[in-house]
């Protein structure tokens, strides 16, 4: 991409580049495959409030023996009186 173009906000650039050599900073991957995330969300069209979200981390960690990537995901639902998520409070 030209030097003056903006990088996509969805980590597509990191995924396409396939970089694995970027070290985490304070436990957060600033670039490379480990920073590639996919977010799917849904919202209430009447209120505009989010009601459902899923974040997929397809390159969460690499198995040192097989060299295959392992992913993980997180999800959350907030609709009417229902409040659930995959993370501990």
Give the model confidence (pLDDT) of 3-61 as tens digits: 445 555 565 666 666 677 778 888 777 777 888 888 899 999 999 999 999 999 888 88
| Fold of the domain spanning 2-85 | Fructose-1,6-Bisphosphatase; Chain A, domain 1 (3.30.540)
Domain ranges of the chain: 2-85
Which residue is it, tokens 């396409």? 16
- pLDDT of residue 1 exceeding 50, the answer is no
What kind and span of H or E run contains 15?
Answer: helix 12-17
* d(C-alpha 14, C-alpha 59), whole Å: 11
Give yes or no for a contact between 49 and 27, defined as CB atoms under 8 angstroms apart.
no
For the beta carbon of residue 48, count every other beta carbon within 10 angstroms. Answer: 7
Q: What's the residue count for the chain? A: 89
The pTM assigned to this predicted structure is 0.66
User: Which tokens go with 12?
Assistant: 């597509």
């Amino acid at each position: 991409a030209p030097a003056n173009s903006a990088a996509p906000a969805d980590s597509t650039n990191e995924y396409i580049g396939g970089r694995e050599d970027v070290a985490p900073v304070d436990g957060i991957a600033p670039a490379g495959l480990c920073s590639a995330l996919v977010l799917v969300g849904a919202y209430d069209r009447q209120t505009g409030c989010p009601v459902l979200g899923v974040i997929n981390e397809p390159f969460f960690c690499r198995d040192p023996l097989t060299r295959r990537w392992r992913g993980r995901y997180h999800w959350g639902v907030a609709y009417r009186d229902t409040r659930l998520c995959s993370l501990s409070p």
